[in-house]
Structure 1
Amino acid sequence: MFKPLILYIGLRYTRAKRRTQFISFITLTSILGIALGVTALITVLSVMNGFEAELRERILGMTSHATVTGLDGQLEDWQKLNGLIDNYPNIEGTAPFINGQVMINADRRVSGTMLRGILPNVEHQVSEVAEKMKAGSLEQLMPGEYNIVLGAELAAYLGAMVGDKITVITPQITSTPAGILPRMRRFTVSGIFEVGMYEYDRNMAIIHLDDASRLFRMGEAVSGLRLKLDDLFNAPQISRSIAQALYEDYRVSDWTQAHSNFFRAIQTEKRVMFIILLLIVAVAAFNIVSTLVMVVTDKRGDIAILKTQGLSSPSVMGIFIVLGAIIGVVGTLLGTAGGIALALNVETIVPAIEQFFGVQFMAADVYYISELPSKLEWEDVYTIAGMAFSLSLLATLYPAWQASKINPAEVLRYE
């Protein structure tokens, strides 16, 4: 069976003889180094992609894609504005809200939290809190009933359950014959939600919009309108167009502004981790240099004979480039397969390790997410595999060039 000479000799040099066992061992370690580096890079980037997607989904499940408020932080004519914006292109839903900082007291426990007033019948248009209820429902928030829905962590801290009475204390003050006192109101816990993010589960409570208006003395005004867009990744452009349509009477912001530092930090961390792990792949790839230098030294006699028989210097270079490319291809393929398999099964493997060793890698009260998500991006896989193979080829150039410069007369003089 015919084989190209360069490819045939390159493949022959990958097979060990008794006197070159050590060289073959170095070749094997180079392959394993590339494979491990590629596996680690694909797995880590997939986990970071999963973190970013999970955080974005959970954050946007509680916050809006965009928000419209007045220049003074309140909207007086929100019903008229709501009707205007609701017919605007790219808007899928709108809902008014009132936000305020309060203290919640239950028995002997006190906690500061964010209190949000909503309209339960339209809240589903802009958030997913109705789907995250562990007990009760948003429909139980009736105007004038003074019911309240607590985050799961907040309820656990206060020791509050559905049906319990709690006291909400606002920063506003009330003048009484006994003196100046903070405004407070008794509420009944009617539900508990859990979105899976400690920030919201521990620091968020929800009441009806009318109750919030009375509690904060806002009259007919609200804090603003929350918007759900048809394309959350196009939120900055849509927000700018809405702001231009509303002239300068309102302030329009989007989720990329509210959480810009957070997601920018994730992107920066992802780039840094990519560079660090790519250096590991580069170190493994440049082990090929030492491997090929040893092979060249061992095969000097063979190279000299081949050159005396008419093999050109570029062809000699090609032999060792083929040898290095084989190492790179095998290592990259093994690493890619391992990385894909690991990235697709991280969510199963990590809980099994935690259960086996009795540890928890990510405590819910410390991290935003208590489980390890993974999202495999094929573009990342192609990029990593391509760069690993390119580094492997780059590492072959110097040893191959050295082999092509061997002088047959000097090598065969004492043979």
Structure 2
Amino acid sequence: EKMSVANIQGIYPDAGEVPLSLKDKMVVGDWLSLTPGNYHLVIGQRLAQKQGITVGDSIRIIAAQGGVYTPFGLVPSQRRFVVTGFFAMGSEVDESVVFAHGSDLARLIRLPEGKVSGLQLFLDDAFKAPQVAESLRNKTQLTTSDWRQNYGQLFEAVGMEKRMMWLMLALIIAVAAFNTLSALIMVINDKRHDIAILQTLGLSNGRIRTVFLLQGLYNGVLGSLIGVILGLVLSCYLNDILALFGAQIFAGSDEGLPIIINVSQVIITAVAAIALTLVATLYPASQAAHVQPSEALRYD
């Protein structure tokens, strides 16, 4: 028999106590199948795939809490449960957490009727969990823990990846700006003769500077616009593109990667790219404005 370690939690679906974050995550079955006295169980889809479990299978739950001491040592509490559904959160929770009815779980660990071993709070803003936990500790002297302590390593890794992505994006924009700078400098060096002729015809240094500033701004706006359009199209159809190349993100799941387009971040990135391009254009434009006609036309 295969064995896995999991955190079993008790909920009360018959009383309407199903967390909002879980209501729409059922893949097979229904939360209302967890009825008191029937010893039903809802497990994560990844755990089911790992153990080869299907709906209707009977599995044995062994819990150290509620065990009894005998002359042969501690005998853990155990009981058979029937799997009635699978949920999929798309995270490691799918492999480490299972749900049963609160009253069935209480009988498993030999708690008195109406008693629980702990309470779990679900917040509208998950990032307020540390403050709420600290407030409860100060006001009630309860022992508390939050998701950062239980799954902190996962979210720290995600946060690190996000910061690195921003760094890479900033470096890509900087490289593009320096490409604009170098391209304009080469254009100025190649067109020194033409710039000198325009100056002799009466074009002021300020207008020459404006011409190259507008040229750099045009490149920045056009490049940013094309990049935003291509990025949005690729983001919207990312799962279809991955499926086209045969990439499978979540085994046994048709949902694919979750895609959220943050409009404010897209706008900030595009504006930053245009602004950096404009800044990179200042030096070449200044150099063009300081071309000396006498030097440029000396041998003509």
TM-score by length of 2: 0.83
Report if the CA contact (8 A) 1:133-1:191 is conserved. no
Structure (1/2) with the larger strand percentage: 1
What corresponds to 1:197 in structure 2? 90
Find the aligned partners of 1:310 and 1:271 in 2 and give their Cα distance: 51
After superposition, the Cα gap between the structure-2 partners of 1:280 and 1:311, relative to the gap in structure 1 and judged at 3 Å, is: same
Residue 285 of structure 2 is aligned to residue 393 of structure 1? no
CA contact (8 A) 1:242 1:252 kept: yes
Question: Given the alignment, which residue of 171, 174, 185 partners 1:279?
Answer: 171
Distance change >3 Å, CA 314–CA 235, structure 1 → 2: same
Partner secondary structure for residue 78 of structure 2? strand
What is the deviation of 1:191? 0.6
Q: Is residue 167–residue 184 contact of structure 1 (8 Å, CA) maintained in 2?
A: no
Matches within 5 A, 1:53-68: none
Task: Please tell me whether the aligned partners of residues 133 and 144 of structure 2 are also in contact (alpha carbons under 8 angstroms).
Answer: yes
Percent identity, aligned pairs only, is 39
Tell me which residue corresponds to 1:227: 121
SS of equivalent to 1:222: coil
Are the equivalent residues in 2 in contact too, given 1:136–1:190 (CA < 8 A)?
no
CA distance in 1, matches of 2:157, 2:53: 36
With over 3 angstroms needed to count, the CA separation of the structure-2 counterparts of 1:302 and 1:130, relative to structure 1, is: closer
Q: Distance in 2 between matches of 1:330 and 1:385?
A: 11
How many residue pairs get aligned? The number is: 298
Q: 1:402 aligns with which of 267, 287, 290?
A: 287
Change (3 A) 1:123 1:204: farther
Unaligned runs of 5+ in 1: 1-107
- Residue identity in the other structure for 2:282: L
Task: Please state how far the C-alpha of 1:318 moved relative to its aligned partner.
Answer: 1.8
Kept in 1, the 8 Å contact 2:39–2:81? The answer is: yes
Q: Which residue in the other structure is 2:191 paired with?
A: 299
Q: Contact between 1:150 and 1:192, CA under 8 Å: does it hold in 2?
A: yes
Structure 2 residues not aligned, in runs of 5+: none
Distance 1:132 1:288 in 2: 48
Residues 158-213 of structure 1 show CA distances to partners (whole Å, capped at 9, x for unaligned) of 44444433322222543457x33523433241412222435233223322222322
Counterpart residue type for residue 152 of structure 1 = Q
Match of 1:310 in 2: 202
Aligned ranges 1:247-258 → 2 under 5 Å: 247-255=139-147, 258=150
2:64–2:77 Cα contact (<8 Å) kept: no
The one-letter code sitting in structure 1 at the alignment partner of 2:207 is S
Q: With structure 1 as the length reference, what TM-score do the two structures score?
A: 0.62
Partner of 1:174: 68
Structure 2 letter corresponding to 1:201: D
Return the offset for 1:112. 2.2
Equivalences for residues 28-43 of structure 1 within 5 A: none
Secondary structure, counterpart of 2:122 in structure 1: strand
